Chains A and B, each alone.
Chain A
Amino acid sequence: MPGRTVSFHPDDRYAAFLRTIPEAPFGEGRLAGVPVAVKDNISTAGIETTCASRILEGYVPPFDATVVERLKRAGAAIVGKTNMDEFGMGTTTENSAFWPTLNPADPSRVPGGSSGGSAAAVAAGLVPLALGTDTGGSIRCPAAFCGIVGLKPTYGRVSRYGLIAYANSLEQIGPMAKTVTDASLLMEVIAGHDPRDSTSRDCPYHHTPDPEIRGLRIGVPEEFFGEGVDARVASVVWDAISLLERKGAEVITCRMPSMAYALAAYYVTCTSEASSNLARFDGVRYGPPADTKKPWHEAFQERRREGFGEEVRRRIMLGTFALSSGYYGKYYAKAQAARNNVRADFERLFCDVDVLAGPTMPTVAFRFGEKSDPLSMYLSDILTVPANLAGVPAISVPCGKVEGLPVGLQVMGRWMEDERVVDVAYAFEQGRSA
């Protein structure tokens, strides 16, 4: 029935939202009246969308992203836009131009990023479902740090139309929820072919999670428990893998040598793509205006210096450098070769195993300010970037705690086998609560 609304006045003590819709309209369908939070880099017609950046302050998209259209068609109420690292560039949500979001599991710690607002909104119980985006772990990291479920779908399974692009070849929109069943339901609503995204595949997702995993072969790459992985996190994750083994899965240790170069390949690729994508923010078509009395370059440069935060400027400049004449071969071309090696490693491993498992993040949630130098923050993405480089599905499911802080089990699957990673996460969730 049109005309109905959900009243949404949350106690947002963790600063998860950038803006909320006090009376959010909803329609008929599977998600009739269900409040859903949407990350602020996903276009929502009539609702300000800033990517948590000053350069898009005041921008109100005249159209909906395909995922938002699908949510509305399913009856959902879009109740707000969630905080994030500016343009998705960060692992803590501290890079939001507006304010940091707190982790509901421990407000003295970050919620992870870049979809930190969506994770915190779900973890705090403000919404049952939220959309995040994952370029190098931005759904799985905050899901792990906040103790919820987050799925990065196979590249091409969910339309990116209306997602404000950061690194097109890596990113996907995906579901975040408290349970695997809820995440799977949201995935069912948003997945499917979209002619407006030329990388979209015609592969809808209709699935009810099945906890039966007898005979499943789980590969555990040694590199996922290597240098930098907190021994206590490793122990919790091994316990989780043992639980899956007790439920009938076979656990096989393996090697993924391409991990040595995966992070460097990821950062060269994403910064290169960002340098091109973010060239569109010039203060002419949207956002606070450039000074039209000044010459083009001067006006453009000043607007971009004022509008972008430090990390965004750093990544645009790094990407510009990596693509510049004389350096393309050393950085971008090598990164693509390394990316192919990551894909090849996944293909080889998936001949012998059905899924790969390991920790989502090497540590528990950081304290605010703990990752103040950019390289150390980049290094914390080491376990999540391989799935983006290869385009394969990966899920993070809560699997225990270290000193009261949530730890995520990551399950990666073959290309287009999102259903299988969901099933393994569900088997764990059911086994743990039994």
Chain B
Amino acid sequence: MITERDTEHIAQLADIAIHREELASFTSRFNEILEYFDLLDQVGMAEESGERAYNIFREDEVVPSLSQEEALSNTTGPEDGFFRAPRVM
């Protein structure tokens, strides 16, 4: 069972604000879903399939990419050719 406090903490980790009035409903939905996920407790970890993912490498060659203008085309109020972001410090 997760609590409303846990939900607040998860929202914080996910960087999504959650309002007080939403907490009860989100928490109760989470608990219903997580209870269903508990089915996975019955899955053994030793069972493995033969097919595994593998890396596909390529040469690190310079190819044309987006221009600076294109890269900035969807941002609001770029400054001196850079993105403007909220302050970190």
Residues of A within 8 A of B (CB): 58-60, 62-63, 195, 198-199, 260-261, 264-265, 267-268, 275, 279, 282, 284-302, 304-305, 308, 313-314, 316-318, 320-322, 324, 330-331, 333-335, 337-338, 340-341, 343-344, 347, 373-375, 378
Determine which of B48, B49, B50, B74 lies in contact with A60 in the assembled complex, contact meaning CB atoms within 8 Å: B74
Q: A322 to B30, alpha carbons, bound, how many Å?
A: 11
Contacts of A324 in B (CB 8 A): 10, 13
Known A-B contacts A343-B51, A344-B49; A295 and B40 likewise in contact (beta carbons under 8 Å): no
Q: Does B39 touch A at the CB level, under 8 Å?
A: yes
Known A-B contacts A267-B33, A289-B76, A295-B86; A317 and B39 likewise in contact (beta carbons under 8 Å): no
Q: A301 to B20, alpha carbons, bound, how many Å?
A: 14
Q: A264 to B43, alpha carbons, bound, how many Å?
A: 11
Report yes or no: A299 in contact with B74, Cβ–Cβ below 8 A.
no
Report yes or no: B39 in contact with A347, Cβ–Cβ below 8 A.
no
Report the minimum CB–CB distance from A333 to chain B (whole Å).
7
Residue in B closest to A374 when the chains form the complex, CB atoms: B29
Q: A300 to B14, alpha carbons, bound, how many Å?
A: 10
Report the minimum CB–CB distance from A231 to chain B (whole Å).
24
Q: A279 to B2, alpha carbons, bound, how many Å?
A: 23
Interface readout for B33-45 with A: 1 if CB under 8 Å, 0 if not? Answer: 1101101111111
Report yes or no: B13 in contact with A320, Cβ–Cβ below 8 A.
yes
Report yes or no: A275 in contact with B47, Cβ–Cβ below 8 A.
no
Report yes or no: A285 in contact with B86, Cβ–Cβ below 8 A.
no
Residue in B closest to A332 when the chains form the complex, CB atoms: B40
Residues of B within 8 A of A (CB): 2, 7, 10-11, 13-19, 26, 29-30, 32-34, 36-37, 39-45, 47-51, 56, 58, 66, 70-71, 73-77, 83-88
Report yes or no: B32 in contact with A373, Cβ–Cβ below 8 A.
yes
8 smallest beta-carbon distances between A and B, as pairs: A299-B86, A286-B74, A305-B17, A289-B76, A62-B70, A334-B40, A301-B17, A320-B14
Report yes or no: B51 in contact with A304, Cβ–Cβ below 8 A.
no
List 25 A–B pairs whose Cβ atoms lie within 8 Å, in order of A's numbering.
Answer: A198-B56, A260-B39, A260-B42, A261-B39, A267-B33, A267-B37, A285-B75, A285-B83, A289-B75, A292-B85, A296-B86, A298-B86, A299-B86, A300-B86, A305-B16, A305-B18, A321-B34, A330-B40, A334-B45, A337-B43, A337-B48, A341-B43, A347-B49, A347-B51, A373-B29
Determine which of A265, A300, A314, A322 lies in contact with B15 in the assembled complex, contact meaning CB atoms within 8 Å: A300
Report the minimum CB–CB distance from A341 to chain B (whole Å).
5
Q: A340 to B45, alpha carbons, bound, how many Å?
A: 10
Contacts of B33 in A (CB 8 A): 267, 318, 374-375, 378
Report yes or no: B41 in contact with A343, Cβ–Cβ below 8 A.
no
Report yes or no: A268 in contact with B37, Cβ–Cβ below 8 A.
yes
Determine which of B37, B42, B66, B84 lies in contact with A62 in the assembled complex, contact meaning CB atoms within 8 Å: B66
**Number of A-B residue pairs with CB-CB distance less than 8 Å in the complex they form:** 156
Contacts of B39 in A (CB 8 A): 260-261, 264
Determine which of A296, A313, A330, A341 lies in contact with B87 in the assembled complex, contact meaning CB atoms within 8 Å: A296
Determine which of A284, A295, A344, A347 lies in contact with B75 in the assembled complex, contact meaning CB atoms within 8 Å: A284
Report yes or no: A275 in contact with B17, Cβ–Cβ below 8 A.
no
Q: A293 to B84, alpha carbons, bound, how many Å?
A: 10
Report yes or no: A347 in contact with B50, Cβ–Cβ below 8 A.
yes
Name the residue in B33, B41, B45 with the highest tally of chain A Cβ atoms < 10 Å from its Cβ: B33
Q: A295 to B7, alpha carbons, bound, how many Å?
A: 22
Q: A282 to B84, alpha carbons, bound, how many Å?
A: 12
Report yes or no: B14 in contact with A275, Cβ–Cβ below 8 A.
yes
Q: A287 to B49, alpha carbons, bound, how many Å?
A: 41
Q: A340 to B75, alpha carbons, bound, how many Å?
A: 41
Q: A292 to B78, alpha carbons, bound, how many Å?
A: 11
Report yes or no: A308 in contact with B86, Cβ–Cβ below 8 A.
no
Report yes or no: A301 in contact with B26, Cβ–Cβ below 8 A.
no
Contacts of A378 in B (CB 8 A): 33, 36
Contacts of A318 in B (CB 8 A): 30, 33
Q: A373 to B36, alpha carbons, bound, how many Å?
A: 13
Contacts of B85 in A (CB 8 A): 284, 290, 292, 296
Further pairs besides A59-B74, A344-B50: 18, Cβ < 8 Å: A63-B66, A265-B43, A286-B75, A290-B86, A295-B86, A296-B86, A296-B88, A300-B86, A301-B15, A305-B18, A317-B26, A318-B33, A321-B2, A334-B40, A337-B43, A340-B48, A344-B48, A375-B29
Report yes or no: B14 in contact with A264, Cβ–Cβ below 8 A.
no
Name the residue in A305, A347, A378 with the highest tally of chain B Cβ atoms < 10 Å from its Cβ: A305
Report yes or no: B45 in contact with A302, Cβ–Cβ below 8 A.
no
Determine which of A59, A292, A313 lies in contact with B84 in the assembled complex, contact meaning CB atoms within 8 Å: A292
Report yes or no: A284 in contact with B43, Cβ–Cβ below 8 A.
no
Contacts of A331 in B (CB 8 A): 37, 40
Report yes or no: B84 in contact with A317, Cβ–Cβ below 8 A.
no
Q: A322 to B10, alpha carbons, bound, how many Å?
A: 10
Q: A300 to B13, alpha carbons, bound, how many Å?
A: 12
